[in-house]
């Protein structure tokens, strides 16, 4: 299995890099943008990136399943959860966000990435995040550590909330989740050193993995936004749970990832409204 997992990681790295360079360059030729809702958008490059990645996977692993943001778009939250529940123990499932941070990409704000996670035995066993703007490739394999452009990475050493920077995003799924998220900001901003709102869960999670920030919490998100980031943070020595501190499930729609040392403080701040 070791060799198969290593081959899977290598394909994920190649696909993320190829799609990332494509979206970075193709942006210069113009974008066609459609509204998914009043606050969420998609570009033609999201669809092209997803097709490119899906084809690369299909060519090498035709029997693997594909769970990509643009292919799944339109399902209700219950239908999406049912699809995830249906992953079988033996299935390899490629969980793909062809552009995480689409609105940043559309506006040429340099926080967007390709995110590819692979699930096997209903666990996330591999994750790759490629930031084409900085040419940074983050990758991790369960039990084998986390890397940035091939060099090992670790979460930060911050021990106290007062020394820690926390990332988050404005939820895009609906205004109720957004209002709930905003209501949790005051206690976090009071006890932590500072906050960043990037609206790219993949890069926020990767920044926790490499110690640039100390925590990230995201609400109203999907498995494709966080799968790769979750395995990266764990393999870099961090801790990942739901925002209430309970263990992660593949169907959850929120996540809290930290360097571990400040996890309890983050759970406490996020649950003091
Ligand atoms: C978005 C980002 C953002 C999160 C949104 C997602 P997308 O991903 O991950 O951080 O807050 O909920 O939709 O839609 O740009 O792939």
69 CB less than 6 Å from ligand 1?
yes
Q: For the chain, how long is the longest CA-to-CA vector?
A: 51
**71-86 mean pLDDT:** 94
Give the predicted TM-score (pTM) of the model.
0.97
Confidence tier at 273 by pLDDT (50, 70, 90): low
> What is the CA(197)–ligand 1 centre distance, in A?
12
102 CB less than 6 Å from ligand 1?
yes
Q: What is the mean pLDDT of the chain?
A: 96
Tens of pLDDT, residue by residue over 110-123, are: 999 999 999 999 99
Closest ligand 1 atom to the C-alpha of 103? 15
Nearest to 249 by CA among 272, 217, 226: 226
Pocket test for ligand 1, best of 95, 170, 225, 243 (most atoms within 8 A of CB): 225
Percent pLDDT > 70 in the chain is: 100
100 CB less than 6 Å from ligand 1?
yes
Confidence tier at 128 by pLDDT (50, 70, 90): very high
19 CB less than 6 Å from ligand 1?
no
Closest ligand 1 atom to the C-alpha of 204? 10
**49-57 mean pLDDT:** 98
Least confidently predicted of 43-57, 141-155, 170-184: 170-184
- What is the DSSP track for the chain? -HHHHHHHHHHHHHHHHHHHHHHHHHGGG---EEESSSS-EEEHHHHHHHHHHHHHHHHH-TTSEEEEHHHHTT--HHHHHHHHHT--TT-EEEEEEEEETHHHHHTT-S--EEEEEEEETTEEEEEEEEETTTTEEEEEETTS-EEETTEE-------SGGG-EEEE----S-HHHHHHHHHTHHHHHHHSSEEEE-S-HHHHHHHHHTTSSSEEEEES--HHHHHHHHHHHHHTT-EEE-TTSPPP-TT-SEEEEE-STTHHHHHHHHT--
CA distance 171 to 261: 26
Per-residue confidence (pLDDT) for residue 74, from 0 to 100: 86
Closest ligand 1 atom to the C-alpha of 99? 16
Give me the helices (H) in 27-75, please: 44-60, 69-72
104 CB less than 6 Å from ligand 1?
no
Least confidently predicted of 31-35, 58-62, 93-97, 262-266: 31-35
> What is the CA(101)–ligand 1 centre distance, in A?
5
**28-45 mean pLDDT:** 88
Tens of pLDDT, residue by residue over 177-230, are: 999 999 999 999 999 999 999 999 999 999 999 999 999 999 999 999 999 999
Nearest CA to ligand 1 atom 16: 100
> What is the CA(225)–ligand 1 centre distance, in A?
6
Per-residue confidence (pLDDT) for residue 121, from 0 to 100: 97
Q: Domains of the chain, with CATH numbers?
A: 2-152 (3.30.540.10), 161-270 (3.40.190.80)
> What is the CA(1)–ligand 1 centre distance, in A?
32
Instruction: Count CB-CB contacts under 10 A for residue 236.
Output: 27
């Amino acid at each position: 299995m070791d060799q198969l997992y290593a081959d899977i990681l290598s394909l994920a790295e190649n696909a993320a890099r190829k799609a990332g360079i494509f979206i970075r360059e193709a942006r210069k030729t113009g974008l066609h943008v459609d509204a998914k809702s009043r606050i969420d958008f998609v570009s033609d490059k999201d669809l092209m990136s997803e097709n490119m990645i899906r084809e690369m996977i299909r060519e090498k692993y035709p029997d693997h399943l594909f769970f990509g943001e643009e292919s799944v778009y339109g399902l209700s939250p219950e239908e999406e959860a049912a699809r995830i529940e249906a992953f079988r123990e033996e299935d390899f499932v490629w969980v793909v966000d062809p552009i995480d941070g689409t609105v940043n990409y559309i506006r040429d704000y340099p926080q967007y990435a390709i995110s590819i996670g692979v699930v096997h035995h209903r666990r996330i066993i591999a994750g790759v995040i490629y930031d084409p703007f900085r040419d940074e490739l983050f990758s991790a394999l369960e039990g084998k550590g986390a890397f940035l452009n091939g060099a090992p990475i670790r979460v930060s050493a911050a021990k106290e909330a007062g020394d820690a920077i926390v990332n988050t995003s404005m939820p895009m799924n609906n205004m109720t989740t957004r209002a709930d998220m905003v209501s949790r900001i005051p206690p976090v901003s009071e006890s932590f050193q500072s906050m960043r709102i990037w609206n790219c869960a993949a890069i926020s999670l990767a920044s926790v993995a490499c110690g640039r920030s100390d925590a990230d919490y995201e609400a109203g998100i999907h498995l494709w936004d966080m799968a790769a980031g979750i395995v990266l943070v764990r393999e870099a020595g961090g801790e990942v749970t739901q925002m209430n501190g309970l263990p992660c499930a593949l169907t959850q729609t929120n996540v809290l990832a930290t360097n571990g040392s400040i996890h309890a403080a983050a759970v406490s701040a996020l649950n003091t409204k």
